[in-house]
Amino acid sequence: MNSRIMMILAGLGAVAGAVHLARDWEDDAERKEAEERIRKAGEGAIDNSWWSRLISRLRGYTDVFDKPAWSELLPPMMPPPNDRKYTLLVDLEGLLVSSSWDRQHGWRTAKRPGAEYFLGYLSQFYEIVLFTTQPNYTAMPVIEKLDPFGAYVPYRLYRESTRYKDGKTVKDLSYLNRDLSKVIVLDTNRENVYAQPDNGLILKPWKGEKGNKDLIAHIPFLECIALFNVSDVRPVLKKYGDTNIPVEWAKVEENMRQKHIENWKNQGAQPKRSGWGFGASSMRPPTSPVSISTDAGKGQPPLSYLDLKRKEAQAIYQLEQKYWNDNKEEFSKIIQEDQKRQTEELKGQLWGMVGVNSGAPQKQ
């Protein structure tokens, strides 16, 4: 009898809960929030039926477990001149580093050849964001070794910024707060870009092999996307994504370089610029603090637009490296002082909590 009563009460509770969840919207704000939730889930428009309200509110509860911790993972773009038109999301394990474990040494992490150059050089063209499925307590110390001052990777997104969808841990770019036509995800696991596969550029995982150059071999392709002001990166990634990009893009560049020389010979002047295989796209060269001559020497064709911009970018990279090296001690001191301040503030908060919980001593 008791078990039957419990089952009846449980059933009544379930019905009452369903009725509560299916109630009318409290206000327009709740309805708009539900519409946004359904839109991001890819389930079309929401209607005003009781079933739609029930499902939407249930989804709101489950979102706590399978959605990112924040609705917008990145702050708004920085204002000029520090803004970057494109955003490059980079993974950590298998892309920038490789970790291994053995009984003699425990866990060890190796830095990929050219990883620091890759980040430093491309930071001229991209807002570079670390986006890893690792928790912050394992990934943070590693990225701080690669970029201790946050000079090249100003934003870092960890496990809590991912979502769980269809049994997969996914980097859902709809929460990124960026124009997805200007976002590239550089990853080693295709499942990570399951939600927006057209934004993904998948590399073979690096497992610690010495002399591996695959990462830096992708620099020419990535810098050209920015240099030629591609309006939407997704068709470009789709076109080249399943090819050997370093090899195929080198062929494109060589072909265009030969046309540049032929036009110079035929016209006796520098040829017109071209989209270099990205289709019709306007070119907006980035402003540069350095000046490079297009003159390649007597009897030689002038530098092409791409070669000129690469020389400028290399000069800028060298200037930036000198700046960071010259001010290394000062920046290290600032970081140490900031860490000390945060530690002191945390201690004060902990002692304050202890005082509140213990209460003031009672008067005798």
Segment 285-297 shows an average pLDDT of: 54
Q: Domain range holding 227? A: 86-247
Quickly state the pLDDT bin for 266 (edges 50, 70, 90): confident
Domain count, the chain: 2
16-25, 46-55, 104-113, 313-322: which is most confident: 313-322
Contact yes or no for 229/284 (Cβ under 8 A): yes
Quickly state the pLDDT bin for 274 (edges 50, 70, 90): very low
Answer yes or no: do 171 and 237 share one domain.
yes
Three-state DSSP at 163 gives: strand
Answer yes or no: do 232 and 256 share one domain.
no
Any idea which residue has 């202890």 for tokens? 354
Cβ neighbours for 135, distance < 8 A, ≥ 6 positions apart: 158, 159, 160
**Per-residue model confidence (pLDDT) at position 284:** 37
**Per-residue model confidence (pLDDT) at position 89:** 98
Residue 54 has pLDDT above 70, yes or no: no
The tokens of 26 are what?
A: 């409290």
**Can you list the alpha helix ranges (DSSP code H) found in the chain?**
2-21, 28-40, 50-66, 115-122, 136-146, 214-217, 219-227, 233-240, 245-267, 305-326, 328-358
**Per-residue model confidence (pLDDT) at position 287:** 47
Write down the pTM of the prediction.
0.74
Residue 26 has pLDDT above 90, yes or no: no
Give the C-alpha separation, 57 to 50, whole Å.
11
Residue 132 lies in a domain: yes
Residue 243 lies in a domain: yes
Quickly state the pLDDT bin for 21 (edges 50, 70, 90): low
59: closest CA among 33, 37, 74?
A: 37
Answer yes or no: do 200 and 214 share one domain.
yes
**Can you list the alpha helix ranges (DSSP code H) found in 45-177?**
50-66, 115-122, 136-146
**Per-residue model confidence (pLDDT) at position 31:** 62
Contact yes or no for 68/163 (Cβ under 8 A): yes
Answer yes or no: do 127 and 170 share one domain.
yes
**Per-residue model confidence (pLDDT) at position 195:** 92
**Per-residue model confidence (pLDDT) at position 231:** 95
Q: CB-hemisphere CA count at 13 Å for 211? A: 0
Residue 185 lies in a domain: yes
Segment 268-292 shows an average pLDDT of: 47
CATH of the domain at 158: 3.40.50.1000
Residue 75 lies in a domain: no
The tokens of 87 are what?
A: 């955003």
The tokens of 289 are what?
A: 């603090």
Tell which of 216, 231, 247 closes a domain: 247
Residue 221 has pLDDT above 80, yes or no: yes
Answer yes or no: do 154 and 256 share one domain.
no
Percent of the chain at pLDDT exceeding 70: 68
pLDDT tens, residue by residue, 308-356: 899 999 999 999 999 988 988 888 888 888 778 877 776 666 666 555 5
Answer yes or no: do 242 and 104 share one domain.
yes
Quickly state the pLDDT bin for 285 (edges 50, 70, 90): very low
The tokens of 23 are what?
A: 């109630």
Residue 178 has pLDDT above 70, yes or no: yes
pLDDT tens, residue by residue, 139-171: 999 999 999 988 999 999 999 999 888 888 899
Three-state DSSP at 270 gives: coil
**Per-residue model confidence (pLDDT) at position 1:** 52
Residue 283 has pLDDT above 70, yes or no: no
Least confident of 48-52, 55-59, 187-191, 356-360: 356-360
Answer yes or no: do 186 and 255 share one domain.
no
Answer yes or no: do 94 and 198 share one domain.
yes
Residue 28 has pLDDT above 70, yes or no: no
**Per-residue model confidence (pLDDT) at position 81:** 78
Residue 21 lies in a domain: no
State the CB neighbour count (10 A cutoff) for residue 163: 21
Quickly state the pLDDT bin for 282 (edges 50, 70, 90): very low
58-67, 216-225, 292-301: which is most confident: 216-225
Answer yes or no: do 132 and 185 share one domain.
yes
Higher pLDDT pick, 19 / 108:
108
